[in-house]
């Protein structure tokens, strides 16, 4: 052994003895039955302890599947599982696979609850990002892989693997290639952590008799999450379909192609959504660089839930769709339609697709033409956002009866009833629109953009964890 390695090993042993004398070893004993403070598992930030659903299951399983909500502690549990496998000598070649290379680096390796954070100073691996490798003092190695590059998993052999956010992997063949390489040693094991989605990779694992499933919700780990997360995010999503999936970790079945199964014409189509001359009028237009134009006119008013939380109801009283028009002709037709809907032509804001400023080969940008027709003082773009985030926002409004449309909006009603998901070759329904050029998609783009402009919301984010005092003062 080179001199520097002997020196490093000696320093690690010295640090371990010092930690034992100071009592710091208790901080790193994740699988202990209790902590010196006498608090139950999961309640003490000074001495983190695994809850029952964060401990490896008993029995002869091959895959440990943690189906848990956002911020429930699944990353910490998996990182500690890897640490235990290495410390015990059960594993010496480990694969770490996430949706992207950045996810592996920022969450699994170097995150707040990643491998580097959970390993004690005397047994912390050396991380070499350029070699995609972690090496522990006992010689065990973990190699990082991106599920976006499935061919990299061809060939390498491992005796353990941690797969993160499996439901978000774009290429299922990455999972297949990983399994072919999980053949070292006498007892290769697989740990999978994911927020559930009804994709075949997840449902097949659940049905596999060699899979042990642990479930957990965001509420299980509330003591270690920032209070603002519950005030701002959980209260907004709890009780919704998205909240059931992302917070409560339910695998919600997507049995068919329809995106808005909760849309009920008897509830959501009503004459009460008629134009009110006392409320501001908002117009949202999907145009972009194609010759497809869709527009919706809507208003909103404040209301209060029975639990005291405020909110708004959105009433859509007009829609419009046309193909084959140039931007100027479409803008004039939309203005005329609006004047007929409101009698007096009231219009307080006009919002266009962010891509409307692009100049095309058939003439000036759509934004410039709409500016000439509607004037620049009330014209703008709706905020850029992911399509699924905007559609989720509409879904939450529907679930809470916060979105109604007037019976005259036949095209928008048809869009809600028939807006379709894309289907993969494996038969999974994805949260991706099936046809980006369909009139249903144009109308839904206009509505989600207009609502997003009036009521900006952040997407359901990973909650910030409250750091323990010991972490803030760690060497």
pLDDT digits (tens, 9 = 90+) for 209-250: 999 999 888 888 877 777 877 766 666 666 666 666 676 666
Q: Where do we find the tokens 């943690």? A: 66
Q: Which parts of 198-324 are beta strand (E)?
A: 211-216, 282-286, 292-304, 310-323
The residues spanned by each domain of the chain are 50-227, 265-454
Weakest-pLDDT range from 112-116, 348-352, 426-430: 426-430
Question: How far is the C-alpha of 285 from the C-alpha of 382, rounded, in Å?
Answer: 9
**The pLDDT of residue 181:** 95
pLDDT category of residue 356 using cuts at 50, 70 and 90: low
Closest CA to 341 of 320, 321, 317: 317
State both tokens at 383: 């905020």
Domain 265-454 sits in CATH at 3.30.420.280
Question: How far is the C-alpha of 221 from the C-alpha of 56, rounded, in Å?
Answer: 17
Which CATH code, of 3.30.700.30, 1.10.630.10, 3.40.50.300, 3.90.1170.20, is assigned to 50-227?
3.40.50.300
Do residues 290 and 327 lie in contact, with contact meaning Cβ atoms separated by under 8 Å? no
Q: Is the pTM of this model over 0.75?
A: no
Q: Each residue of 280-337: pLDDT tens digit?
A: 999 999 985 566 899 999 999 887 655 445 578 999 999 999 988 888 899 999 999 9
**The pLDDT of residue 59:** 86
More confident residue, 252 or 383: 383
Question: How far is the C-alpha of 142 from the C-alpha of 82, rounded, in Å?
Answer: 9
pLDDT category of residue 13 using cuts at 50, 70 and 90: low
CA 130 to chain centre: 28
Question: How far is the C-alpha of 449 from the C-alpha of 387, rounded, in Å?
Answer: 9
Which residues, at least 6 apart from 13, have a Cβ–Cβ distance to it below 8 Å?
Answer: 122
Question: How far is the C-alpha of 369 from the C-alpha of 328, rounded, in Å?
Answer: 5
Question: How far is the C-alpha of 134 from the C-alpha of 129, rounded, in Å?
Answer: 8
State both tokens at 133: 């490798």
For the four alpha carbons of 224, 225, 228 and 234, in that order, the dihedral sign comes to negative
């Amino acid at each position: 052994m080179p001199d520097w390695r002997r020196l490093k090993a000696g320093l690690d042993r010295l640090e371990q003895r010092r930690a034992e004398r100071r009592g710091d070893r208790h901080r790193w004993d994740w699988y202990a039955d209790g902590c010196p403070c006498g608090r139950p598992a999961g309640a003490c930030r000074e001495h983190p302890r695994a809850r029952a659903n964060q401990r490896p299951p008993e029995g002869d399983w091959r895959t440990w599947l943690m189906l848990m909500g956002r911020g429930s502690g699944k990353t910490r549990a998996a990182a500690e599982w890897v640490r235990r496998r290495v410390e015990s000598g059960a594993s010496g070649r480990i694969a770490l696979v996430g949706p992207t290379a950045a996810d592996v680096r920022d969450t699994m390796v170097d995150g707040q609850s990643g491998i580097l954070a959970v390993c004690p100073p005397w047994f912390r691996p050396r991380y070499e990002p350029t070699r995609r490798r972690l090496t522990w003092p006992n010689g065990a190695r973990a190699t990082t892989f991106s599920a976006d590059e499935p061919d990299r998993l061809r060939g390498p052999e491992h005796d353990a693997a941690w797969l993160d956010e499996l439901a978000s992997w774009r290429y299922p063949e990455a999972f297949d290639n990983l399994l072919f390489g999980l053949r070292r040693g006498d007892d290769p094991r697989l740990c999978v952590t994911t927020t559930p989605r009804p994709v075949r990779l997840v449902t097949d694992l659940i049905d596999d008799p060699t899979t042990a499933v642990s479930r957990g919700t965001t509420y299980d780990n509330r003591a270690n999450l920032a209070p603002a997360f519950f005030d701002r995010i959980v209260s907004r999503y709890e009780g919704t379909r998205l909240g059931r999936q992302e917070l409560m970790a339910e695998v919600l079945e997507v049995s068919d192609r329809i995106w808005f199964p909760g849309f009920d014409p008897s509830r959501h189509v009503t004459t009460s959504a008629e134009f009110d001359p006392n409320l501001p009028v908002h117009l949202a237009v999907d145009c972009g660089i194609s010759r497809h134009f869709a527009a919706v006119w809507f208003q909103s008013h404040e209301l209060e839930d029975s639990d005291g939380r405020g909110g708004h109801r959105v009433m859509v009283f007009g829609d419009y769709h046309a193909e084959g028009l140039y931007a100027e002709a479409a803008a004039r037709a939309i203005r005329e339609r609006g004047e007929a809907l409101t009698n007096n032509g009231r219009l307080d804001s006009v919002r266009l697709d962010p891509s409307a400023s692009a100049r095309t080969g058939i003439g000036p940008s759509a934004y410039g033409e709409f500016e000439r027709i509607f004037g620049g003082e009330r014209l703008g773009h709706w905020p850029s956002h992911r399509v699924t985030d905007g559609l989720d926002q509409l879904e939450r409004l529907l679930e809470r009866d916060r979105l109604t449309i007037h019976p005259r909006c036949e095209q928008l009603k048809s869009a809600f009833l028939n807006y379709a998901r894309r289907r993969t070759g494996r038969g999974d329904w994805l949260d991706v629109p099936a046809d980006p050029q369909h009139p249903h998609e144009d109308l839904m783009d206009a509505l989600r953009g207009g609502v997003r402009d009036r009521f900006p919301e952040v997407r359901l984010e990973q909650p910030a964890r409250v750091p323990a005092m010991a972490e803030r003062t760690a060497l």
